[in-house]
A and B are shown apart, each in its own frame.
Chain A
Amino acid sequence: MSRKKIIHALVLIFVLAVPLMGWAEDLLVIVNAKNPTAALSSAEVRKYFLKEQVTWPNGEKVRSVDRLGNTSEKRTFLERIVKLSDDELEQFWVSKRYEKGIPVPPKLHSDNEVIEYVLSFDGAIGYVNAKSVGPAQRSQIKVINTIPMQ
């Protein structure tokens, strides 16, 4: 067997083994633990994140939080849930603020900052990589939707 074939075989084994090794990643849509909502469909997540619905069923104001930069988490969330490109989302927020005076969500640098934000506001909704959520944080946040990462 040539060296090239061996390398190809090793790469193939590595790729196939990744899911078995538990490295497959999920994107979690999270809210504060005090939020009474148990689960949301993708369409409902979109509605809350884009503030088409501006209050939660308990009357709490919806505070969506976004990520800065072109991360894989953001790409997955925009493609699977929001169904807008990054530029289109920017345009959406400007027109939303113009039409209804709805504030543009903050954009944070990391998953940890998003988790901190969700812990700080009862009405917050954001998305993070499952790997970023530690055992201690699991009890303080609620996962309302899970999306396999691309």
Chain B
Amino acid sequence: MFRAKMVVTVIVLMLLAIRPVWAVDIEFSAFGDMSLAFSFGDPADKDEAILFEQFGTDPNPINLQRGFGIAGTDFVVVAQLTDRLVFLSEVNLQLERGGTTEIGLDMERNFLDYRIKDWLNVQVGSFFTPIGFFNRTLYSRAWLMQSIQIPDLFEEEIALIPSHETGVNFYGNMPTVGAHSLNYALSITNGRGTDPVSLIQGRDTSNNKQVTAMLEWVIPGFRDFRIGLSGWTSKIDTFNLATAPFGTTADVTTLEPLELREIGFTPHLAIYSKPFNLIVEYAFAQQKDLTGSLGGEKFELNGIFAELSLNLMGGKLHPYVRYDATNLPKDGGPYYPLREEGGVITRHFIPEFKSVIVGAGYDLYAYNRIKAEYIHHMAGPRPEHGIVIQTAFGF
């Protein structure tokens, strides 16, 4: 049944890619990659490795690759319905965890974009949460990224920050002095579900809404130079398993409801210039107990992502160095460890992440980049050392 749905989806996408003369302008993009990876050495944190093996969300930590692997392929359709109205849909065909032939179908984005003025555009639908730089522009498209590993901080399947949302988003660009300008975004959306990886897309049973705001100064004279600050706030309706041991599973009907107030902010800096590129992004999130079941306690997350890359050999060779880390609340706090399936919630162990990565990418063609990197894990359950080679494409 699922395979049949997938086949139908692919056929629909292929049909959409065909452009009859009478149709609206339709453009079709795809992104994909294939990698070969080796991991060796002891786990960076042996205690976390034991906990993760027993109570993790998956037998292998997300992003740990061994052998050959295809992460999946993204298909993006952009339809220019009118001069001002654009429809964009992005679906991702990806291998399920475990690396077998089981393919998952994931709707990444699906929105209508009404362009009124440069300073006022409205998106309605499902889109990347307009926070930070990475989540809005690179997300996890390997070909757009310099390095290979998707940072845990922005990994959709860990969902430390709300990477996607469904609702309405107002955004635009306002000129200021000279060629300087300000980008802004303001969204009101359904927000997070019972567990962090479940996005409320179809039907929101609560009145809680997530509000997200982003302001970004765009500095001229560079290929791209942005300094920005974004933040979000929402109420999360979930269930109280905070004091239960890892691995506890319970039916939601037997659990005490838990309401959390989440606030977060992410300052970011992104410079793309002829000789070098620099992305630095920090994220802070706090979840406060509103019900009093946890004594009104606050649970805080910190994360950082920093990447410096050079553009050598006419912009084709990109050596890079990267550091990223996540620092979770004690035992993951009351929300991040939860995963719900069919009305049953399990409390998992969510590991922290700290690594240094060095590597290089080379643009074989405009639409194909090959990369190789060494990763040294300094925290978490992953082996201390890893080497990954990747070929990534986008068009």
Contact = CB atoms under 8 A, between A and B. Distances in A.
A62 to B, nearest CB: 9
Interface string A63-106: 00000000000000000000111111011001101111101100
A87 B179 contact: no
A54 interface: yes
Interface in B2-32: 25, 27, 29, 31
A86 B144 CA distance: 17
Contacts of A95: 137, 144, 394
Interface of B: 25, 27, 29, 31, 76, 78, 80, 83-84, 86-88, 113, 115, 117-118, 136-137, 141, 144, 173, 175, 178-179, 181, 218, 220-221, 223, 274, 314-316, 363, 365-367, 394-395
A135 interface: no
A43 B220 contact: yes
Given A53-B118, A54-B118, A103-B80, A87 B173 contact: no
A131 interface: no
B163 to A, nearest CB: 14
Instruction: Output the residue of A91, A95, A101 with the most chain B CB within 10 A.
Output: A101
B221 A97 contact: no
A52 B118 CA distance: 9
Given A94-B29, A98-B31, 9 more contacts: A53-B118, A53-B175, A54-B115, A54-B118, A83-B223, A85-B315, A91-B363, A95-B137, A101-B86
Contacts of A91: 363, 366-367, 394
A85 B117 CA distance: 30
A100 B168 CA distance: 15
28 contacts: A43-B178, A43-B221, A53-B118, A53-B173, A54-B115, A54-B118, A55-B115, A55-B117, A55-B118, A59-B117, A84-B223, A85-B315, A87-B316, A87-B363, A91-B366, A94-B367, A94-B395, A95-B137, A97-B76, A98-B29, A98-B31, A98-B144, A99-B137, A101-B78, A101-B87, A101-B113, A103-B25, A103-B80
A86 B76 CA distance: 23
Contacts of A53: 118, 173, 175
A86 B363 CA distance: 12
Contacts of A61: 83-84, 115
A132 interface: no
A43 B144 contact: no
Contact-residue size bin, chain A (C-beta under 8 Å from the other chain): 20 to 34
Contacts of B173: 52-53
Nearest to A96: B137
A41 B141 CA distance: 34
A44 B220 CA distance: 10
A145 to B, nearest CB: 14
Interface in A96-141: 97-101, 103-104
Interface in A30-51: 41, 43-44, 47
Given A43-B179, A87-B316, A94 B394 contact: yes
A61 B113 CA distance: 14
Nearest to B78: A101
Nearest to B76: A98
Q: Which 7 A-B pairs have the closest CB atoms?
A: A90-B366, A87-B366, A101-B88, A43-B179, A101-B78, A101-B86, A61-B83
Nearest to B119: A55
Given A97-B76, A99-B137, A104-B27, A87 B315 contact: yes
A74 B245 CA distance: 64
A95 B144 CA distance: 7
Instruction: Output the residue of A61, A86, A91 with the most chain B CB within 10 A.
Output: A91
B149 to A, nearest CB: 19
A42 B27 CA distance: 29
A98 B365 CA distance: 19
Contacts of B118: 53-55
A77 B251 CA distance: 64
Contacts of A55: 115, 117-118
A88 B179 CA distance: 22
Contacts of B80: 103
Contacts of A85: 314-315
Contacts of B113: 100-101
Contacts of B141: 98
